[in-house]
């Protein structure tokens, strides 16, 4: 069996110049002692995690101060204050503070963790946190600002619990950015034009999906010497994340989405 083609890891973000500028502006304020908050909300595969990684690398690059980077787990959705507990564990023990820290004291605890230096707090997949933890994090984030050297970056599939905080909503990549990413993944001259077109069409501007689909193709499939499989493999992780989001919607909403999807299905015998 021919092994899948080697896919290059993207060295930079494509089509996210506006988002990167907003992150860099937040970090610049933080490095001058003024904190702030930003919520990144986008569908699975849109690059929320990559944008957080950019912020972490940029903060470390300036050697400005510590970083707390927490990734939420699905089980935290059902246990009160489990997300907050994970964040406080990452912050380490608080001298002279026995027992759990109350939600209202979160910002003070974060300031102590920073030790007077700018502290960057990143929470990825925050939509998986329980409502109490999301509320505590949002409360602390709203209190950051001038004179508070703490910046809070939240990546989530939705803005539930974070209303009122500054938000960025990365959309699908435009055609130029998606093509540039595909060139980086495969090499500009390696993919057959028909294969390129099919990958770009199926990914629909989702960078995570484009990366996953490309990674599972063999060199022969990529260059058009053998047919593409149908459906294309490699998108399972992104599709499963979408399914998880849909699964938590009301039944009537799920039915409406199903009807809409069926009406737009083009293959194999969709209505179009």
Q: Residue 64's pLDDT band (boundaries 50, 70, 90)? A: confident
pLDDT of 3 > 70? The answer is no
pLDDT of 144 > 90? The answer is yes
- Could you read off the pLDDT of 225-248 as tens digits, one per residue? 888 888 877 766 666 655 566 666
The label of the residue with tokens 């930003």 reads 38
Q: Residue 220's pLDDT band (boundaries 50, 70, 90)? A: confident
Closest by CA to 186, choosing from 16, 10, 50, is 10
pLDDT of 5 > 50? The answer is no
pTM summary value: 0.80
CATH class of the region 17-168: alpha beta
Percent of the chain topping pLDDT 70: 82
| DSSP structure string for 65-117 | --EEEEE--GGGGSSTTHHHHHHHHHH---TT--SPPPGGGHHHHHHHHHTTS
Closest by CA to 179, choosing from 153, 154, 158, 207, is 207
- Could you read off the pLDDT of 95-138 as tens digits, one per residue? 544 455 565 689 999 999 999 899 999 999 999 999 999 999 99
User: Average pLDDT for residues 182-201, to the nearest whole number?
Assistant: 86
Number of other residues whose CB lies within 10 A of the CB of residue 50: 18
State how far the Cα of 50 lies from the Cα of 78, in Å rounded to an integer: 26
């Amino acid at each position: 069996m021919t092994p899948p083609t080697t896919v290059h890891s993207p060295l930079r973000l494509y089509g996210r110049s506006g988002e990167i500028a907003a992150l860099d502006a937040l970090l610049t304020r933080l490095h001058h002692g003024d904190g702030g908050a930003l919520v990144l909300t986008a569908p699975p595969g849109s690059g929320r995690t990559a944008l957080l990684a950019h912020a972490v690398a940029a903060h470390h690059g300036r050697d400005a101060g510590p970083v707390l980077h927490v990734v939420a787990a699905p089980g935290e959705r059902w246990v009160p204050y489990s997300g907050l507990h994970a964040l406080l564990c990452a912050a380490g023990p608080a001298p002279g503070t026995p027992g759990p820290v109350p939600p209202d004291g979160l910002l003070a605890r974060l300031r102590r963790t920073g030790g007077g230096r700018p502290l960057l707090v990143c929470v990825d997949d925050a939509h998986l946190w329980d409502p109490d933890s999301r509320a505590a994090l949002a409360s602390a984030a709203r209190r950051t600002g001038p004179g508070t050297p703490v910046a809070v970056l939240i990546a989530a599939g939705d803005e539930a619990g974070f209303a009122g905080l500054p938000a960025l909503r990365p959309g699908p990549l435009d055609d130029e950015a998606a093509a540039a990413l595909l060139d980086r993944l495969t090499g500009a001259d390696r993919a057959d034009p028909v294969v390129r077109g099919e990958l770009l069409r199926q990914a629909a501007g989702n960078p995570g999906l484009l990366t996953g689909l490309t990674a599972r193709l063999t060199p022969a499939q990529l260059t058009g010497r053998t047919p593409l499989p149908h459906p294309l493999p490699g998108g399972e992780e992104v599709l499963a994340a979408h399914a998880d989001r849909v699964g938590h919607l009301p039944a009537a909403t799920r039915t409406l989405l199903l009807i809409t999807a069926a009406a737009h299905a083009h293959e194999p015998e969709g209505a179009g």
